[in-house]
Structure 1
Amino acid sequence: MADESKPPFPPFDNESAAQKVRMAEDAWNSRDPEKVSLAYTPDSEWRNRSEFLKGREQIVAFLQRKWNEELDYRLIKELWVTDGNRIAVRFAYEWHDDTGAWFRAYGNENWEFSEDGLMRRRIASINDLPISEDQRKFHWPLGRRPDDHPGLSELGL
């Protein structure tokens, strides 16, 4: 396998951690499971809600299932704190199911990185809130959130 690395590398300061968070947000907003999986070590370990995953193959399968169920997915992540090779993030995302019912998911993630800048551990706690379509706050076209779109703090989330 070719040498893999994903700058910026730990130890992180606030600027490099915020860059890492935005890179993750952009990748997840692509809704491309293969692309997203490349930010993680081949043996990365996840806890996502009540699911426990290990390795890129399980990550890809999880994300394929996720984005087949969570339609029109739009995500905002925000740096909470960083220390060494760890980053804590808070996030919110909006999506609807196949009946048209909208939700906003709120959560926190704890990330741990290897020396090459790949994430080796992701621990996510997430809660879903049913919302009406007129309560949505994430209205950009699918894909990357525009730089001038407000973040979580600016939206009061």
Structure 2
Amino acid sequence: MVKRYPLPPFTLQTAIEKIQLAEDSWNSRDPYRVAQAYTADSEWRNRHLFINGTEEIVAFLTGKWSKELDYKLKKEYWAHTDNRIAVRFEYEYHNDEGEWFRAYGNENWEFNEDGLMQRRFACINDLPIKESDRKLI
């Protein structure tokens, strides 16, 4: 079995490290790289979608980043327990028409003993912004 360090139980330091690794991975915009951090049967709720398993994660992220262009994400620590981490995040992107958006939200993560995320629940809100109002450049 593959292990994704740091492993639970998390300390403040290792939770923050895990969050930074996730941010770096998502900012790569590589669905396969991102999917490696999740169990093969990982359960997601992302807005109104329920996504299960690696194949659905890759398909979802491939579609996401084909529409959310120049995507840039920032994640921040909120709280943690033994094998769970909560984060707040914001990301910015534009669509094909050049309209910019900032998305805000919260995620709750649950990890297995090997450090792979087995559950991810995301609540996300999008806000149209002007390109000149971007914060994440």
- Give the structure with the larger strand fraction: 2
Match of 1:73 in 2: 71
Q: CA deviation at 1:83?
A: 0.5
Q: CA deviation at 1:37?
A: 0.2
Cα distance in 1 for partners of 2:38, 2:89 equals 19
Q: What are the superposed Cα offsets for residues 17-65 of structure 1, whole Å, 9 maximum, x if unpaired?
A: 0000000000000000001000000000000000001100000000000
Q: Could you tell me which runs of 5 or more consecutive residues in structure 2 were left unpaired when the two chains were aligned.
A: none
Residue type of the partner of 1:97? N
* Secondary structure at the counterpart of residue 113 of structure 2: coil
Cα distance in 1 for partners of 2:89, 2:22 equals 11
Q: CA deviation at 1:138?
A: 1.0
Give runs of ≥4 in structure 1 deviating > 4 Å.
none
Cα distance in 2 for partners of 1:53, 1:4 equals 22
Match of 2:121 in 1: 123
Matched, 1:36 2:34: yes
**Percent of residue pairs identical:** 62
Residue type of the partner of 2:97? T
Cα distance in 2 for partners of 1:126, 1:132 equals 19
Q: TM-score, with normalisation over the residues of structure 2?
A: 0.99
Q: What are the superposed Cα offsets for residues 54-99 of structure 1, whole Å, 9 maximum, x if unpaired?
A: 1000000000000000000000000100001000000000000000
Q: What are the superposed Cα offsets for residues 76-131 of structure 1, whole Å, 9 maximum, x if unpaired?
A: 00010000100000000000000000000000000000000000000000000000
Cα distance in 2 for partners of 1:11, 1:138 equals 31
Match among 7, 15, 18 for residue 17 of structure 1: 15
Q: TM-score, with normalisation over the residues of structure 1?
A: 0.87
Q: CA RMSD in A?
A: 0.4
Alignment of 1:74-153 (within 5 A): 74-139=72-137
Cα distance in 2 for partners of 1:92, 1:60 equals 21
Counting matched residue pairs gives 137
